[in-house]
Amino acid sequence: MVFLTRVEHFNAAHKLSNPNWSKEKNEEVFGRCANENWHGHNFELFVTVKGEPDPETGFIVDAKWLSKVIKDQVIEKLDHRNLNLDVDFMKGKMCSIENLVTGIWNELRPLMPPAIKLHCIKLVETPRIFVEYYG
């Protein structure tokens, strides 16, 4: 079994705010991340798939194909967007990186060909904060 990781990136705005809570409660729980006019990040996305190298190509998957799928299905929806307002798969969810990483997983998982499995998605919000999801 070989693991292959493709790294992509996107820049986006978001805020952490629970619409069922008061402004004070949101500020108490989420601090500056609750700023009503948004803030933003440079996100780095690591998509890891696993499989056996194909005897004909030596690839577990064509990395160019994987890159295109990630760009078309995920980056296109997220890059230079407002994650709370603009992204269909985040509608009605809290815009934490925990929820974002599972949302990205759900977008990509059905698109993987039978020969490979989605293994891990790592989402880096800042150089000091990141999450990983293994399904």
Partner 1 sequence: MERKVAVFRREHFNAAHRLHNPAWDDAMNERIFGKCNLPNYHGHNYELIVRVAGVPDTQTGYVMDMKLLSDLIKRQVVDRFDHRNLNLDTVEFKDLNPTAENIVLVIYDLLRKEIDIKFDLKVTLYETPRNFVEYPA
The residues that touch partner 1, with contacts defined as CB under 8 A, are 9, 11-14, 32-33, 35, 37-42, 79-82, 85-86, 126-127
Q: Which is nearer to partner 1, 35 or 99 (CB)?
A: 35
> Any idea which residues carry the catalytic annotation?
33, 80, 125
Give the nearest distance from C-beta 133 to partner 1 in angstroms: 21
Q: Which is nearer to partner 1, 46 or 59 (CB)?
A: 46
Give the nearest distance from C-beta 81 to partner 1 in angstroms: 6
Q: Which is nearer to partner 1, 12 or 121 (CB)?
A: 12
Give the nearest distance from C-beta 104 to partner 1 in angstroms: 17
Integer angstrom CA distances of residue 24 from 16, 18, 30, 34, 37: 13, 11, 10, 10, 15
